[in-house]
Amino acid sequence: MNITDKQIINYLQSGFPVCEHPFAVISEKLGLTESELISRIQLLLDKGILSRFGPMFNVEKIGGMYSLVAMQVPVADMERVTAIINQHPQVAHNYERDHKFNIWFVVALEAGKKLSTLLETIEDQTGYLTYNMPKLDEYYVGLKFNA
Amino acid sequence: MLTIIDHSSAKMAPEKRVFSDSHLISLIQLGLPLTERPYLEIARKLGVSEHQVITRISNMIETGLIKRLGIIVRHHELGYRANAMIVWNIPDDSVHKVADLMKEYPFVTLCYRRPRRLPDWPYNLFCMIHGRDREGVISLLEDMIAVNNWQDYPYDVLFSKRRFKQRGASVRKVRVVF
């Protein structure tokens, strides 16, 4: 990754224009041509440095909801429990963390679906308690990562 | 060959077509087309005008249905190998004040208030810090605590060990990445 790629990443994290020639707006500022910018973004996606280029939706406003759920699972039972959790299509992320509460996953639900039903199922299947920690307030942070 | 184009109807007809948010969302959920005029390409698929698509997407950003238009960076691939969730037990009457200071730090990439789950879980404020390594994350955290005099607030640091799953989730058949 060169300096131009880093500039592109830092620039695009703050947003992408909504107008007829959005790439031209950015390429001009970075001293590139429109097609150079487009092919560099494509390359960053191909290399896996970017996972996506497009809109990030607000799940709640689309009608769904999501929550963070924690569990305490003995290390010896981790594989079995994570396999069960990950089977559920509503589970978006699942991380093992270095703590007594060692499993942390995010669930996203369609409108009208009950989180409690899903969590009861997971508790029945795994034999461990779930700790539901839905977001109560979100504090807006600015730009994410410096490339 | 002579082709006669009726410009008035070519321009007017698409404007009259209606299209639903969900149809538009299904076309852009996995990403915007990487072409010089991405909104025109989307408009052609919907059979509407570029202007309509631009207006609708702008509205979605204004109303917050789209949180952000841009890129998602794989932090691990950028060299941010240490991902720490720091959880704090902050008195309820101070939590907003503390969070407002915390979120301003450039290395704080998420900041949420969540419910305590007593007696097992006393923490009510969560923030995420990504760093090049664990030592770097700890030193950023310790500086932040010292500068703000947060020494009295109990906290815990949960580094990620393994990522079992990272993908967008399906909500009403819409893949959403957050």
Q: What is the pLDDT of residue B13?
A: 53
For the segment B20-48, the average pLDDT, to the nearest whole number, is 93
Q: Sort out which chain B residues have CB atoms less than 8 A from A33's CB and list them.
A: none
Q: Sort out which chain B residues have CB atoms less than 8 A from A93's CB and list them.
A: 163, 165-167
- Interface check for A141 against chain B (CB to CB < 8 A): the answer is yes
Query: Contact B35/A21 with Cβ under 8 angstroms?
Result: no
Q: What is the SS3 string spanning chain A? A: CCHHHHHHHHHHHCCCCCCCCHHHHHHHHHCCCHHHHHHHHHHHHHCCCEEEEEEEECHHHHCCEEEEEEECCCHHHHHHHHHHHHHCCCEEEEEEECCCCCEEEEEEECCCCCHHHHHHHHHHHHCCCCEEECCCEECCCCCCCCC
How far is A58 from A40, CA to CA, in rounded Å?
Answer: 28
Beta carbons of B177 and A52 less than 8 Å apart: yes
Which chain A residues in 30-69 lie under 8 Å from chain B, judged by CB atoms?
A: 34-35, 38, 41-42, 47-59, 61-64, 66, 68
3-state secondary structure of B74: coil
Residue B53 main-chain phi, psi, to 5 deg: -65, -45
Q: How does DSSP classify residue B137?
A: H
Q: How far is B91 from chain A (nearest CA, A)?
A: 15
Q: Which amino acid is at B58?
A: S
Q: What is the pLDDT of residue B98?
A: 98
∠ CA A99-A125-A69, rounded to 5°: 40
Cβ pairs A/B, distance under 8 A: 245
Give residue-wise pLDDT tens across range B113-165. 999 999 999 999 999 998 889 999 999 999 999 999 999 999 999 999 887 76
Q: What is the pTM of this model?
A: 0.72
Residue B7 main-chain phi, psi, to 5 deg: -60, -35
Give residue-wise pLDDT tens across range B43-84. 999 999 999 999 999 999 999 999 889 888 877 777 778 889
* Both structure tokens of A18: 């909504």
Give residue-wise pLDDT tens across range A86-140. 999 889 889 999 999 999 999 988 777 789 999 999 999 999 999 999 999 999 7
Interface test with B, best of A39, A53, A91 (most B CBs within 10 A): A53
The ipTM, to two decimals, is: 0.75
Q: Which amino acid is at A109?
A: L
Task: Find the helix or strand (DSSP H, E) in which B160 lies.
Answer: strand B155-166
* Both structure tokens of B104: 């301003």
How far is A57 from B176, CA to CA, in rounded Å?
Answer: 6
